[in-house]
A = this chain, B = another copy of it.
């Protein structure tokens, strides 16, 4: 997302920072998968636990006037649920850290909690603990546990020949964000759709859980930073490359109506919280969509040669793209 992108430019690279955080740490046998995927996998008896943390900061990820407090609470959980979805897991319990600032009312928190509780209940997630601190910016940080499937969807499992699919449509949330931020003026029903896709994302839990039943287990990642960047992470972790057909990227009617042929936000906008997964060829797109209960589109294929080749698109005005292409 643009705001984040601008802010990130002045900050050390996130990925490098996380890598350094865990460098030279001798993981015990209980850590099946450490940082670098959507969730960590921690062994616990005969089965394993998924463990993830995510944060939303006022002025960085949201402004209070953009949506309702209920939406804000629900969204804070949804971005975590999406990480569990991307592993094929079942979310179970979360703890919530709330940074609160002066000027926010009790009524605001009641509504925020109401939205969070409703979202948790809808996915049978228990809110088991919380912590509150004061700060200058409001922030919600949620750590979520999940039950891992027998064969979790991992970023490092893509193989040459796999076909790449994404759920839903891409770029809507990023466009919605620009509308909310006043960067785009849209006077139509498209506005409602796009803004809602930003304010109220849906974690693809059922799709992830069903994908985890396939053999071999698909590689997967959730699309939070934008298609090119997230696919880039998956390619890097798997040590492979990809060819993506830009004309196959699923766009909503609203997106087309507002952005026309400009794919920038579909390719690099972020905040979609859709799943990208890589499976052995031969699956019908229509059958997959029915089985996963979400529109699903094939957008390309995994190749052995590292790098990401984007075909059929005008050069998008997205920061991450040249870098990815340069690897090819």
Contact = CB atoms under 8 A, between A and B. Distances in A.
A97 interface: yes
Interface in A28-76: 28, 30-31, 33-35, 39-40, 42, 44-47, 49, 51-57, 59-61
Contacts of A121: 25-26
Best-buried of A30, A52, A113, A141 by chain B (most CB within 10 Å) = A141
Contact of A21 (B35, B56, B113, B137): B113
A95 B50 CA distance: 11
Contacts of A57: 99, 133-135
Contact of A27 (B45, B116, B126, B131): B126
Given A14-B132, A22-B130, A25-B121, A55 B141 contact: yes
Contacts of A45: 44-47
Contact of A53 (B4, B42, B130): B130
A97 B55 contact: yes
Nearest to A35: B129
B12 A95 contact: no
A93 interface: yes
Contact of A117 (B21, B28, B136): B21
Q: Range of interface residues on chain A?
A: 35 or more
A120 B31 CA distance: 14
A134 B11 contact: yes
Contact of A143 (B22, B102, B133, B143): B143
A127 B190 CA distance: 43
B42 A44 contact: no
Contacts of A8: 134
26 contacts: A7-B134, A11-B132, A12-B100, A12-B109, A14-B132, A18-B129, A18-B130, A22-B117, A22-B130, A23-B117, A25-B117, A25-B127, A28-B126, A30-B93, A31-B93, A34-B127, A44-B44, A44-B45, A51-B143, A53-B96, A53-B130, A55-B133, A57-B99, A57-B135, A60-B134, A135-B137
